[in-house]
Amino acid sequence: MPQVKIVAKNFMDMVASLPAMKLDKLYQNAFICQAILRSMPPLAKRYVLQLLFIDAPVTGKMLEESVLADGLSKHKVAIDRLVQLRVLTEALDRKKEATYRMNPTFQMNVQKLIVHGGVLPREPMPSTAGFRLPSLEELDAYAVQQWECFLLHLISSSEAEKATTNISSSMMKVFQRGLLSQKDDKEPPRLTEGGFQFLLMDTNAQLWYIIREYIGNSEERGLDSADLVSFLLELSFHATGEAYNINTLSDIQRAIIRDLADLGLVKLQQGRKESWFIPTKLATNLSISLSDTSSRKQGYVVVETNFRMYAYSSSKLHCEILRLFARVEYQLPNLIVGAITKESLYKAFQNGITAEQIISFLQQNAHPRVAERIPTVPENVTDQIRLWESDLNRVECIPAHFFEEFPSREVFEAACDHARECGGFLWENSKKMWLVVKAESFAYMKEFLRGKKQ
Amino acid sequence: MMNRDINGEGRKLNRGEEEEEEDEDEESGRGRDAWERAYADERSWESLQEDESGLLRPIDNKALHHAQYRRRLRTATTAGIQKGLIRYLYIVIDLSRAAGEMDYKPSRMVVVARQVEAFIREFFDQNPLSQIGLVTLKDGVAQCLTDLGGSPESHIKALMGKLECSGDSSLQNGLDLVHDLLNQIPSYGHREVLILYSALSTCDPGDIMETIQKCKGAKIRCSIVGLSAELYICKYLCQETGGLYSVALDEPHLKELVLEHAPPPPAIAEFAIANLIKMGFPQRAAEGVISICSCHKEAKFGGGYTCPRCKARVCELPTECRICGLTLVSSPHLARSYHHLFPITPFDDVSPSITNIPQKLPKSCFGCQQSLLNPGNLPGPCVACPKCKQHFCLDCDIYIHESLQNCPGCESFKQSNSVTNMEE
Amino acid sequence: MSPPVPSKILTDDVSLLMVLIDTNPHFWSSIKPHFSFSKFLSHVLAFLNSILLLNQLNQVVVIATGINACGYVFDSSSGSVSQRAESLLPKLEEFAENDESLSERDDDSGNGVGSSLLSGSLSMALCYIQRVFRSGPLHPQPRILCLHGSPDGPGQYVAIMNSIFSAQRSMVPIDSCVVGIQHSAFLQQASYITGGVYLKPQQLDGLFQYLATVFATDLHSRNFLRLPKPVGVDFRASCFCHKNTIDMGFICSVCLSIFCKHQKKCSTCGSTFGQAKTHDPSASQQR
């Protein structure tokens, strides 16, 4: 069974793969330095802090000294990452030893951040601007609503049709690239395997997947990816719930803001004279999701040992997501009751969702009451989900070749041994002198048998 | 239910009258349905209780809080009484046929061993300089499993290696053996026996009453925790020697009963003769220094301790200096028990009459800065230290009395600092 | 029964750093020629800012340890999202003034530098950490950092030891950075018992570098880093009678009180001691 797995690839890998020139340019922005610093593994952060006020190059040995033997691999990872991100530049000194020196722009910016503090990217709206700011709760609700709307659109285009009319279809296409497939125009688009898996990821991972698609797509639209990255990172350092004047943005940024508003990252607000944008939690979370640390949010699902599932949620999206792998039985105003059945899981597996994804979804979204206990999801349920999955994989197809009518038992046995040696052996029947080998080792076998014949 | 037996008193407090007033609406409002609680935890029915209208409700934590508070108040009243801090305790474990019974899962002796392990650790935590020894009763004889010693690990290891049961148990043989062993200890030590008794009978070679009188004469305090049912002879023994007798209902109860013996018991003046012992507090040498230790007579690498009198090096504490004979202890070891000497005063509940004037109350807990206001800006439940008059939340109250043993308020003000019981 | 110690399953490097700053004015004026309080603060503020910079979930709480009072002066989790450590300055000033006014009333500042109330601020920090533990299974890993300079106050011995044991039970390491002239026996013991780091920087001018390389290390990274090892631990105790720090003394067999001289009667528990002997022979026979 082919495994298509979409993972929210670490955003930093993407940044690290930017060309050197662009990276150096990025570091001129203090916020990016901060975001990059936060995304590093703990040991790398320590090195940055350690070298922060040292101008001379430092030998790698000196850094390594403070690491215990079993931390050496972590040390290597940290150094590699720092070099990759061009935070440290590697050089060889006279004794041919590796020395490291911190990127001066980066160094200066972080120093400034620590000593003087950062300046906000732009001034928030003065409180006298003449309209009421939405409260943080309202803003959160707005962000969640926009985001869920977008996800609902993925699941069932028809259902969300009325709600999503405000999302420009061209943008939608970008966001949904790889998640939806459409055979022809008449048929409604269908979720791909990747799309199903996408739905089970947590919000931050989803967000980054989308943002990555967006950035990857930017070159086509004539945008510089470095500009886009820096703007997104900058956005994440704006204060949630404050309004910022749109006029402070460049034209390109204004276009981006509009796209992001569709996803619920910012809320646009029309003032009397000027228009404003208000970053929501989704936007400020952008820099948080950079790191691989666990996200913290309240779950809502309780799974019982009898395969029943209770989800405290009034969200339509949650219901739809649960429907992906469970049979929803009742829907009360704040509670969804369902059951995980063999049929419902088979449906999910057919859609390309794996058992592990379902289990990790159940674990990540566990209701706080059950999240405290170990295991969060009853073991019999997780085991059964895995068993049902492996049921589907009982038959494995391997292209093979079948040999029969060997001239003698000796030749047959020698052929079997040879097949085992070259790792292509699959099956034999010594009574009837039948042998099956993998297709890739067919050539070797043929050669071998030819040799035997002579 | 209230009167099933005397021993379960502490537990019964949880179920008793206290929670009835408290868990009216706020608890049920939170809607704890059956599937929200752990199935894994056995005897889940025990955490349910019936309310006055016959509905089942989970027991809430508030009751627990109050039970703890009660217990604390009880111990606080014993403050000032001398306590036997240097204890020599033998744990006698019944490994007769009866210990193989399966009414405790998987069997009585496994459960007992588990509790003894927990007890030994807790004991050494609370009683520095004290020593424990293990004795087993099996096939009618008593056997000394480990000698008195201060290392929890060696006792636990010895016990875990010897877990098999057979024959009858003899209370008399056990007491005789312990009596002989405890005769050798220094006069200032408190002699104690804790017997974990599974059997319902004792099979003795002579007159047990004589042995009991002998123990009484030797000032050995005998306590018994029974696993099956109350026995007259056990009760008599404990009464005579000033110990505690209790019978466990189930495993958690057993644990509670056994751990009750971990804090030092009140000392009875004539039981041990008070004495001043000269002791040294060695310094720990720097890591990575090589020196020759006096106990193993070999060069050792890394931190050891230096005797303050003769500067000889020893590897472990507590011990006696090989060179000058000074008793060496680690001072933190001693300090572990000081909270018994200077128990912290219980905090007062802030009475509702004062609570009515919100301006007078601080907004947050002095210890943890948690808001003391309930949602809706009404003052929530809080307590105040009678000395420094600072207010604390209920959680800090428990933490301060159960673990920290300091009042952050009293410690933070110099004036009141002189009032603390440090000063005689 | 101590509150349940939460399981430490978080592998994150997210930390809760409780910083106890010694504000003893006598101490700071005593070392002013070398290192002033304002210089010290600038190093510490940079350090606190860098902790906050490293991870958006990191939390820093600062408690000022005065000579007459202790108080919270900074909590990065309260208020707006991106709070910087500089915002503690006004509160610290207010605290110092209050502290000083209390001492004027007391006018006992005659005897040297005096000690600051470390036991109080430690107790407060532990209470705060317990609150974080209570907040649920996902909480930052707490640790305590004592930036201390004043000499130990032997009168606080019992209270400090109680705090140390409570920290040990909750698996909270106490790091100590001693900026004073002499070593602190209390902090040596605190760090040794709780598994924290004890360090007395050689050059105070480079304080930030010490803080950044040693004390910024989160608990997760400590598993594979080589941090400064203790240069010996001073296990001396304070006697109960004169509050002297002693390395040899007499212990009451009933209550374990420590005395520096032989007494007839234990002042703590009231037992009268039988025979006046410097060394108890029965004890040595037994061993």
- In the 8-state DSSP scheme, what is residue A439? G
Is residue A273 within 8 A of residue A130, CB to CB? The reply is no
Q: Tell me the nearest-neighbour CA distance from C208 into chain B, angstroms.
A: 25
Is residue B111 within 8 A of residue B251, CB to CB? The reply is yes
Tokens standing for residue C234 = 């001073």
Is the CB of residue A302 less than 8 Å away from at least one CB of chain B? yes
pLDDT number for residue C276: 39
Is residue B208 within 8 A of residue B202, CB to CB? The reply is yes
Task: Choose the closest CB to B395 out of C2, C134, C269.
Answer: C134
pLDDT number for residue B420: 39
Work out whether the CA dihedral B57, B63, B68, B70 comes out positive or negative. negative
More confident residue, C48 or A7: C48
- Residues from chain A that touch B32, judged by Cβ atoms under 8 A, are 369
Closest residue of A to B32, CA-based?
A369
Helix (H, G, I), strand (E, B) or coil at A356: helix
pLDDT of C284 higher than 60: no
pLDDT number for residue A180: 67
Task: For tokens 């068993």, name the residue.
Answer: A387
- Residues from chain C that touch A66, judged by Cβ atoms under 8 A, are 213, 225-227
pLDDT number for residue B222: 93
- Residues from chain B that touch C249, judged by Cβ atoms under 8 A, are 278-279, 281
Q: Alpha-carbon distance A86 to A22, whole Å?
A: 11
- Which range is least confidently modeled, B73-87, B164-178, C50-64, C210-224? B73-87
What mean pLDDT comes out for the span B115-119?
92
The answer to whether B36 contacts A302, with C-beta atoms less than 8 Å apart, is yes
pLDDT number for residue A121: 62
pLDDT number for residue C54: 83
The pLDDT tens digits for B240-284 are 998 899 999 888 889 989 988 888 877 655 556 677 878 888 888
- Residues from chain C that touch A35, judged by Cβ atoms under 8 A, are none
Q: Tell me the nearest-neighbour CA distance from B53 into chain C, angstroms.
A: 33
The pLDDT tens digits for A29-75 are 887 888 788 778 888 888 888 888 888 888 888 888 888 888 888 88
- Residues from chain A that touch C13, judged by Cβ atoms under 8 A, are 42, 45, 293
The pLDDT tens digits for A294-344 are 444 567 889 988 999 999 888 788 888 888 889 999 888 889 999 999 999
Query: In chain B, what's the furthest Cα-to-Cα distance?
Result: 75
Q: Alpha-carbon distance C125 to C190, whole Å?
A: 14
pLDDT number for residue A361: 85
- Give me the residue spans of the domains in chain C: 15-222, 236-287
Tokens standing for residue C241 = 């009678």
pLDDT, averaged across chain C: 80
Residues 6+ apart with CB under 8 A from A355: A345, A349, A385, A386, A388, A389
pLDDT number for residue C80: 56
Q: Tell me the nearest-neighbour CA distance from B424 into chain C, angstroms.
A: 7
CATH of domain C15-222: 3.40.50.410
CATH of domain A11-115: 1.10.10
The answer to whether A373 contacts B38, with C-beta atoms less than 8 Å apart, is yes
pLDDT number for residue A2: 36
pLDDT of C16 higher than 70: yes
The rounded percent of chain C whose pLDDT value lies above 90 is 17
Q: What is the pTM for the complete model shown?
A: 0.71
Instruction: Give the burial class of A98: count Cβ atoms within 10 A of its Cβ; 0-12 exposed, 13-18 middle, 19 or more buried.
Output: middle
Name the range with the highest mean pLDDT among A435-439, B374-378, C1-5, C104-108. A435-439
pLDDT, averaged across chain A: 78
The answer to whether B37 contacts A369, with C-beta atoms less than 8 Å apart, is yes
Residues 6+ apart with CB under 8 A from B189: B86, B87, B88, B272, C253
What mean pLDDT comes out for the span A104-126?
77
pLDDT number for residue C175: 93
The pLDDT tens digits for A188-221 are 666 677 777 777 777 777 777 777 777 777 777 7
Confidence of residue B66 (pLDDT cuts 50, 70, 90): low
**Best mutation target, B301, B364, B403, to test chain C (most C CBs within 10 A):** B403
Cβ neighbour number for residue A116 with a 10 Å cutoff: 12
- Please give the ipTM for the structure prediction: 0.83
pLDDT number for residue B43: 56
pLDDT number for residue B223: 93
The pLDDT tens digits for B202-216 are 989 999 999 999 999
Residue type present at position A85 = L
The pLDDT tens digits for A348-386 are 888 888 888 888 888 888 888 787 777 888 889 999 999
What mean pLDDT comes out for the span A232-239?
76
pLDDT number for residue A294: 42
pLDDT, averaged across chain B: 76
**Angle (CA) C91 C92 C93, round 5°:** 90
pLDDT number for residue B21: 39
Residue type present at position A21 = M
Helix (H, G, I), strand (E, B) or coil at A446: helix
pLDDT number for residue A292: 41
Q: How far is CA A70 from CA A75, A337, C11, in A?
A: 10, 48, 17
Q: Alpha-carbon distance A235 to A287, whole Å?
A: 9
pLDDT number for residue B67: 62
Closest C-alpha among A30, A13, A21 to residue A230: A30
Is residue B170 within 8 A of residue B140, CB to CB? The reply is yes
Give the DSSP per-residue string, A250-267.
-HHHHHHHHHHHHHTSEE
Per-residue b/e over A50-70, b at no fewer than 16 CB within 10 Å?
bbbbeeebbebeebeebbeee
Enclosing H/E stretch for B107: none
Q: Alpha-carbon distance B156 to B134, whole Å?
A: 9
The answer to whether C53 contacts A34, with C-beta atoms less than 8 Å apart, is yes
Which domains are assigned to chain B? 1-19+43-59 (no CATH), 87-271 (3.40.50.410), 279-334 (no CATH), 342-417 (3.30.40.10)
Classify strands B190-197 and B220-226 as parallel, antiparallel or unpaired.
Answer: parallel
More confident residue, B379 or A105: A105
The rounded percent of chain C whose pLDDT value lies above 70 is 85
More confident residue, B289 or C66: C66
Closest C-alpha among C245, C249, C250 to residue C234: C245
What mean pLDDT comes out for the span C98-122?
74
Give the DSSP per-residue string, B349-409.
EPPHHHHT-GGGS-SB-TTT--B-EETTTEE---EE-TTT--EE-HHHHHHIIIII-S-HH
More confident residue, B68 or B183: B183
Q: Tell me the nearest-neighbour CA distance from C170 into chain A, angstroms.
A: 18
Confidence of residue C177 (pLDDT cuts 50, 70, 90): very high
Q: Alpha-carbon distance C95 to A298, whole Å?
A: 38
More confident residue, B113 or A237: B113
Query: Counting one residue from A and one from C, how many pairs have CB atoms under 8 Å apart?
Result: 87
Tokens standing for residue A62 = 């000196």
Q: How far is CA A29 from CA A265, A283, B165, in A?
A: 21, 18, 75
CATH of domain A400-453: 3.30.70.2610
Residues 6+ apart with CB under 8 A from B357: none
pLDDT number for residue B250: 86
The answer to whether B36 contacts A308, with C-beta atoms less than 8 Å apart, is no
